[in-house]
Amino acid sequence: MSLATVMQSIVDYALPSRCAICGASVETDNRFCLACWQKLDFLARPWCAACGLPFSFERADDSLCGKCLVDRPIHDGVRAVVRYDDSSSLIAMRLKYGTRLGLAKLIAKHLQKFACDFPDNAIIIPVPLHRSRLWTRGFNQSVLIGRELARGTGIEMNYNLISRCKITPPLRGMNSAQRTKIVASAFKLSTEADKQLAGKSVLLVDDVYTSGSTSNACARLLKKAGALNIFVFCWARVIKDLEAS
C-alpha cells in the first residue's frame, strides 16, 4: 500500500465525507444526502430548442419559449444541472468564494450526461476571468469545472482562446440590458482562435447562468472565429417564475 493511500485513509477516517450542502455524513465525497438531493430541482428535457429553458410539459423538439420567439440568444442552448435556488446556490458560492475546489468535480460529473450529445471534435472553453480577479481569487472556477469535465469525457479543453480584457463590476442586481451593455466589449479572441475553432462545437463552461449576457458576449466572438455552435454548460440556471412554462 502506497504512502498516499495510507494518508488518504487517515484523512478519510479523521474527516468523514459530508453532504456538499448541509454537511450531513454521506458515503463518499462530493455527494448529497437524500434530503438535500430531493430538494434540488434537476433540469432535463423537454426544453426550448434555442435557449434550453426546460418546459413543464411535453412539446415538439423544435418548440421555442416565449422569450426566444421574440429574441433568440446568440448561443445555441444552455445545459444546466439544476435550477438556481437557495440549496443549489450554496454549491456555486462555496466553490467560487469558499475555495471548496472539490465541488468542481461534483459539478463536472453531473454535466457529463449532457456532453454525450456532442461530437468528438467538440472543445471545452471556460468563461474567462480578468487577470486582476484571477490574481485576487487565485483560480477560475469555470476552469476547474472545465478541467474535470475534460477528464471525465475526453473532450479537449482550451482556456487560452478567449480572454477577459476589461474589468467589469459584479453583475448581481443588474437587469439584462445593463448586463449586456457592460460585458459587450469585455472579451477578446486569441490569434489562434480561428484555427482552433473552425467548424467545432463549443461547450462554454460557467458556474451559473443568469441572464445570458456573458454567454452571449463570448458566443458572439467564438462564432465570429468559426465555431459551429455554442452550448453553455453550467451547474445552475436562474429561472424566473414567469419563464417556467
| pLDDT digit string, tens, across residues 139-174 | 999 999 999 999 999 999 999 999 999 887 777 777
Of the listed ranges 138-152, 215-229, 230-244, the one predicted with least confidence: 230-244
Domain limits of the chain?
Answer: 1-39, 41-237
> Does residue 1 carry a pLDDT above 50?
no
Please report, rounded to a whole number, the percentage of residues in the chain having pLDDT higher than 70: 92
Indicate the helix (H) or strand (E) that contains 134.
Answer: helix 131-137
Q: How confident is the model at residue 5 (pLDDT cuts 50, 70, 90)?
A: very low
Q: Which of 164, 237, 177, 180 is nearest to 214 (CA)?
A: 180
* Side-chain half-sphere CA neighbours of 164 within 13 A: 19
Handedness of CA 126, 133, 90, 101 (dihedral sign): positive
What per-residue confidence (pLDDT) applies to 99?
82
Distance of alpha carbon 31 from alpha carbon 119, whole angstroms: 29
What per-residue confidence (pLDDT) applies to 208?
96
What per-residue confidence (pLDDT) applies to 10?
44
Mean pLDDT of 178-191: 87
> Does residue 6 carry a pLDDT above 80?
no
Q: How confident is the model at residue 107 (pLDDT cuts 50, 70, 90)?
A: very high
Record the cell numbers describing residue 139, joined without a space.
Answer: 483560480
> Does residue 88 carry a pLDDT above 60?
yes
Q: How confident is the model at residue 15 (pLDDT cuts 50, 70, 90)?
A: low
Give me the architecture of the 41-237 domain, per CATH.
3-Layer(aba) Sandwich (3.40)
Of the listed ranges 23-37, 94-108, 175-189, the one predicted with least confidence: 175-189
Mean pLDDT of 1-9: 46
Chain mean pLDDT for the chain: 89
More confident residue, 50 or 10: 50
> Does residue 7 carry a pLDDT above 80?
no
For the stretch 199-219, pLDDT in tens is 999 999 999 999 899 999 999
Q: Residue 173: left (phi > 0), alpha (psi -120 to 50), or beta?
A: left
More confident residue, 43 or 243: 43
Handedness of CA 98, 101, 102, 107 (dihedral sign): positive
Mean pLDDT of 71-76: 95
What per-residue confidence (pLDDT) applies to 242?
63
